[in-house]
Amino acid sequence: MAKTSMIERDRKRTLTAKRYAAKRATLKAVINDRSADPEQVDAALLALQKLPRDASPTRQQRRCRITGRPHSVYRKFGLGRNKLREAVMRGDVPGVVKASW
């Protein structure tokens, strides 16, 4: 089980990213616009840099829904490898079977 503080920190990052998503999108649109004049692009870059660091969605960590484990989490199931294996063995995941050959 992951530390509760780390899980909460990641949850806070998610909320911050959602809060600033629209503002980041408009600033990035100005930066990537080829027809914008350089002064506008520079102003947009400065404004983007002044946003909180956690406003970037790339700072979020994918975690297991059950344990909060940050590594070896399968995107399709949202579970870490250990909990996914347990769920497959119990038959909770439809269409997935343990390989044997």
Instruction: Say whether both 12 and 48 belong to one domain.
Output: yes
Please report, for residues 3, 17, 57, 85, the alpha-carbon distance to residue 79 in angstroms, rounded to integers and kept in the order given.
17, 22, 20, 9
State the total domains in the chain: 2
The pTM of the full predicted model, rounded to 2 decimals, is 0.77
Instruction: Say whether both 40 and 84 belong to one domain.
Output: no
- What angle do the packed helices 21-32 and 38-50 form, to 10 degrees? 150
DSSP character for 14?
Answer: H
**Residue 21 confidence (pLDDT) above 90:** yes
**Residue 97 confidence (pLDDT) above 90:** no
Instruction: Say whether both 81 and 56 belong to one domain.
Output: no
Q: What is the pLDDT of residues 58-96, one digit of tens each?
A: 999 999 999 999 999 999 999 999 999 999 999 898 888
**Residue 99 confidence (pLDDT) above 90:** no
Q: Which domain holds residue 42?
A: 1-61
Residue 88 near residue 97, CB atoms below 8 Å: yes
Instruction: Say whether both 44 and 85 belong to one domain.
Output: no
